[in-house]
Every structure is written in C-alpha cells, then in structure tokens.
Amino acid sequence: MAPTIEAIRGTKASGQTELYEAILTGMKSLADKEGRKALVVFSDGEDTAMAKPLSVVLNAVARYGYPIYCIGAGEALKSADLRRILRQLTEVNSGRLFLVERPADLQTAFSEISAELRSAYVVNYYTGVPLDGRCTS
C-alpha cells in the first residue's frame, strides 16, 4: 500500500478538474480486462471542465457495472455538491464513499477498499419459476 500513498502524495493539482472524463476513461480502460473490476476515485474537487454532464457519467457507470469507491479529501469536504456527486457515483453499483479529513486517514480508506474487494463475492440463484411468478407443479 505504501507505493500507492507515495504516488498520491507526489501528485500536484493544476488547471481544471476533469473528474467525469477521468471516470469514463477509467471505466473504458477496465472493459477489456479479465477478472473482477472496480474503480477507485480520489478527488479533492468538483468537475470544473464540464466536458460531459453527470447524467452521462452515471449512465455509463450503470452500463459498465463496476463498483466505484470514492475518496473525497481536502476541499472536497467543504462542498456539499461534490459529496452528493461522489455518493451518487458510489451508489450506482454498490461502491462506497470515504470522506477523509486527515492525510493520515488515507491509509485506512485504501486498506478498507482493498479488504472489501478481496472479500467480495457474488451469489446467483436460478429458478425454474416462469417470469410471471406462477408455479407450474
């Protein structure tokens, strides 16, 4: 986990925030990968580029079906709009939102995401009952 935290610490923000485009790019890049997929979004600000509306992003997230784990930090905690947007993104496919007040808490957020992804599983149930719900026996 230390390399991830170090990479995040080494980033510098500048210019406009293309949050929605980054999410769409991330979802597309996972499309041809094998195995379980999830996207982790780390943001300290709202989408200011406005290249795509939120509704387009939410529809794409639903279509791809990967859970999104959002970590909001810094200035993000002051914006009710951003907190609402991040929550919407996580709720589409049963992801989770983390609002991190202290940089020291980033490790906990990433560890919880990692643990959740390692322990997640899918249960499918198939029935012989017709779609109209009537029993045929």
Instruction: Give residue limits of the domains in the chain.
Output: 16-119
pLDDT in tens, 21-57: 999 999 999 999 988 899 999 888 887 777 889 999 9
Cα–Cα distance measured from residue 45 to residue 82, given in angstroms and rounded to the nearest whole number: 7
What is the fold of 16-119? Rossmann fold (3.40.50)
100: which 2 tokens?
A: 């991190």
Please check whether residue 47 is in contact with residue 20, taking contact to mean a CB–CB distance below 8 angstroms.
yes
Please tell me whether residue 11 adopts helix, strand or coil conformation. coil
Please tell me whether residue 78 adopts helix, strand or coil conformation. helix
Beta bridge partners, 72, equal 43, 99
Cα–Cα distance measured from residue 137 to residue 123, given in angstroms and rounded to the nearest whole number: 26
Given a cut of 60, whether residue 4 has pLDDT beyond it is yes
pLDDT in tens, 108-130: 999 999 999 888 766 667 677 76
